[in-house]
Every structure is written in C-alpha cells, then in structure tokens.
Amino acid sequence: MTQVSSQTPGAAAPAATEDAIALAHDLFGAVSAAVRGKDEVVRLSLVALLAGGHLLVEDLPGTGKTLLAKSLATALGGRFGRVQCTPDLLPTDITGTSVFSPADGSWTFRPGPLFANVLLVDEINRASPRTQAALLEPMEEHQVTVDGATHRLPEPFFCVATQNPHGQIGTFPLPESQLDRFALVLSMGLPDRAAEREILTGQGGNDVYEALRPVADPARVAAAIAAVHGVYCAPALVEYVLDLTAATRVHPDLSVGASPRASVGLIEAARAHAVVVGRDHVTPDDVQAVVGPAFSHRISTGAGVDTAAGAAIVAGIVARTSVPRP
C-alpha cells in the first residue's frame, strides 16, 4: 500500500497557512449564518474561492444562489457585481465600454459589473454564445480587453455563475471551453424543513444577510489564495489524482475524460478543502470531497456534458480506485 507522509516539506509558511485557515473559518461562519442548511455548499464555495477558481451553480430559481454570492462578497469585504443574463445581453453589458466625450474628443473606459471581487452571472446559459465567450478572458487571466486596451480586474476575482436545468426553453448550453473555466460545479438543492423554518422566522436568509458584516478584506483573501497554492500534497496523493484522472480517460461510458487542466484543478481544490476544514496538508479525504464537483463538468458521455451523470461516473471511479493511506 502506498504511504502518505504527514510531513509538510515545501508547504506554505506556517503563519500564512494558519491565517488562511482562520480566514476560511470566519468566512464559513458568516456565510452559513445567512445561507441556512447548506453547510456543504458553503464549504465547497469557499474551496472554489480559495483555490483561485470560479463556481457554477446548477439549480432552479429561489434556492439561494444569489444570497450565497452576495453573502460571500459581503463577508470578504469586497465589491459585488451582478449580471442578469438574457438572450439580448451584449458582451459590453458585462465588460464595460468606451464612452466618447464631445467636450475634448477623448474616449473614456466605463467599467461594467465585471469589475468586482465577487461577480454573480445569473442564468448564464440564457446569454448568447458570443456573450458567454466574453467571460473567457476575465475568468482565465483576471483581465479584460476592450477596444484594444487591457484592464486588470480587482483581486481576488471570483465568478459565481448560475445555470438553469438543461432543456429549458431559451437556453444556450455552455461549451466545454467555458465549463472548463469553473473549478467546481454544485447544486444548491432545497433546504431541509428545519433550515426553511429558520428562514421563515428571520433566523436565516435575507434577514440575516442584511445584518452581515465583513470578516476579512480583499487583500487578506488574496493572500490566503496564495497560501493555499503552497499547501503540501504528498507524492502519493499526486499519484492518486493521476489514477483518478487516467480512469476517466478509459471509462467505457465516457467519450472525453478529464484533461490535465482538470487534474491540476483537482489538486488545487483538494489543497483549498484541506484549509477550509482546518488542515495544513492534503489527505485522501480532501481529494474525494472535491473530485465529483471538480470533474463532473469536465468529462463527457456520448450525449455531451451531463453533470449529474458525470458525478455518478466519478463516484464509481473513486469507489474502484485504490486509496493511499498513512
């Protein structure tokens, strides 16, 4: 059996890691106070944030997606931007545009809602493919090019996109290149009875959100993201990730397996998960906790990308793959 060391050579500086762990704890407490009964969703949202990635939430309206994004923005002390996608939405409605001034004959860039620390792109698959593509550069490079000029986005930049269930009228399925920009894909689901009672009685939801105050600032969050990149992942766990990735590429029910970008994203998400649950090194449990949300949208059956089917296939792969233990 493969051995996994609990030592952490090459890890991030202990102070930076400890601060990232403390930050994750504070953010979780603040956001989960508003988003009731969804602790795992909140935890995985923080994983996507601290991994330096982005989050796609697939669910019906009214399940708390907007509240989740707004609560994250408020808790981290950053700026919140929102885009409501429709078929006639233009790329410049997201990125911003250059405005002409007749007084002096100059052009001035007017930033769009994209320029935020947390950007909610609501119902992204209602936007046209052209408008969806306007998010590729910002999500990958944290910058946007308009009229030949490049503008940097604030750091951190975290995009939370929501998507209606496939098959609804007036939707445009996201291409694989767009899906690949998301670190994790989640479903909010409905709250249980106890959580919904708390929402109805003002102990959660928008009532709590209105009283929410920042527990961090963007600079501290950016530092935590940098610290997460240095969290120690033992060589045996790297091999475990490679085993899981390779299994998707030979699975009989998949036409497209996980790419190298997906395996890199899985390790980063596992590092972030370790920090969110209070550890300074990665364990197999961290990999298993995030592999479904990290891979389900990056693999494809013959009928295309189906995240629910993908998650079930990944769960089967995890069950059959040998796990390294200390």
Q: Which domains occur in the chain, in start order? A: 14-230 (3.40.50.300)
- Amino acid 260 reads P
Average pLDDT, the chain: 89
Mean pLDDT, to the nearest integer, of 49-55? 97
Q: What is the pLDDT of residues 305-321, one digit of tens each?
A: 788 889 999 999 999 99
pTM strictly above 0.95: no
In Å, how far are 50, 255, 309, 320, 323 from 315, measured between CA atoms? 24, 17, 10, 9, 13
Q: Token pair for residue 126?
A: 């209602």
Is 70 exceeded by the pLDDT of residue 5?
no
pLDDT digits (tens, 9 = 90+) for 259-297: 999 999 999 999 999 999 999 999 999 999 999 999 999
Q: How far is CA 311 from the centre of its chain?
A: 16
- β-sheet bridge partners, residue 106: 101
* Residue 169 pLDDT: 64
Question: What does the longest C-alpha to C-alpha distance in the chain come to?
Answer: 74
Closest CA to 35 of 266, 207, 245: 207
Contact 186, 55 (CB under 8 A): yes
CB atoms near residue 261 (< 10 Å): 11
Please state the three-class secondary structure of the chain as a single string.
Answer: CCECCCCCCCCCCHHHHHHHHHHHHHHHHHHHHHCCCCHHHHHHHHHHHHCCCCEEEECCCCCCHHHHHHHHHHHCCCCEEEEECCCCCCHHHHHEEEEEECCCCEEEEEECCCCCCEEEEECHHHCCHHHHHCCHHHHHHCEEEECCEEEECCCCCEEEEEECCCCCCCCCCCCHHHHCCCCEEECCCCCCHHHHHHHHCCCCCHHHHHCCCCCCCHHHHHHHHHHHCCCECCHHHHHHHHHHHHHHHCCCCCCECCCHHHHHHHHHHHHHHHHHCCCCECCHHHHHHHHHHHHCCCCEECCECCHHHHHHHHHHHHHHCCCCEC
Q: How many angstroms separate the CA atoms of 209 and 30, rounded?
A: 9
Residues for the chain: how many in total? 326
pLDDT at 165: 67
Q: What pLDDT score was predicted for residue 9?
A: 47
Q: Tell whether the model's pLDDT for residue 75 goes beyond 80.
A: yes
b/e map of 49-69 (b: 16 or more CB within 10 Å)? bbbbbbbbbbbeeebbbbbbb
Q: What is the share, in percent, of the chain residues with pLDDT greater than 70?
A: 94
pLDDT in tens, 190-218: 888 887 888 788 777 777 888 889 999 99
Each residue's pLDDT tens digit, 27-48: 999 999 888 889 999 999 999 9
pLDDT at 17: 93
Q: Rounded to an integer, what distance in angstroms lies between the CA atom of residue 247 and that of residue 321?
A: 8
* Confidence bin at 167 (pLDDT 50/70/90): low
